[in-house]
Amino acid sequence: MEIGIVEVQPQMVLGIRKKGKYEEIRMMLPEVWQFAVERGIQIEGPPIFVFHEMTDAAAKTADAEVNADIEVAVPVSGKVEGTGEIECYELPGGKMAKIIHRGPYQELEFTYEKLLAWLEQSGKRLVGPTREVYLNDPRKVPPEELLTEMYALIE
């Protein structure tokens, strides 16, 4: 698993952000995707989860308390009308460390550990939310073939 530094451009997305449990991601992403498809909105890339808790301990506590900050989004071609729950907005870009995880989503935690260890060893500092970009569909490929790009906003 190679880690590199990339410049991620801001992108227009349709998204939902709410408090709850991380397991809700699997229901929220299809909701946003379906919203776009039903309205003929041009989808410009794979779905994204923005991970706002800054540490593993904070994430586990927030999830246990049903208070996790959950944001899912789908890149779209331009500004479109939202509904109140599903909004269109620009997801910020910036300098980010990137790693690709191959395997089940349940094992993402181990890749996060590698990414955070690399940041520390490289003298880089996490300065904002991380994000996961889901490159293939868990309904179409076995768990061991799932590919997830992981990005960490750094200074």
- CATH number of the domain bearing residue 66: 3.20.80.10
Give the range of the structural domain holding residue 92, as residue numbers without chain letter: 4-154
User: What integer pLDDT is reported at residue 89 of this predicted model?
Assistant: 96
pTM of the model: 0.93
Number of structural domains (the chain) is 1
Position 50: which residue type? V
Model pLDDT for residues 77-133, shown as the tens digit of each residue: 999 998 889 999 999 999 999 999 999 999 998 999 999 999 999 999 999 999 999
User: What integer pLDDT is reported at residue 1 of this predicted model?
Assistant: 65
H or E segment and range at residue 56: helix 56-64
CA distance 118 to 4: 10
H or E segment and range at residue 149: strand 147-154
Model pLDDT for residues 5-58, shown as the tens digit of each residue: 999 999 999 999 999 999 999 999 999 999 999 999 999 999 999 999 988 889
CA distance 22 to 35: 21
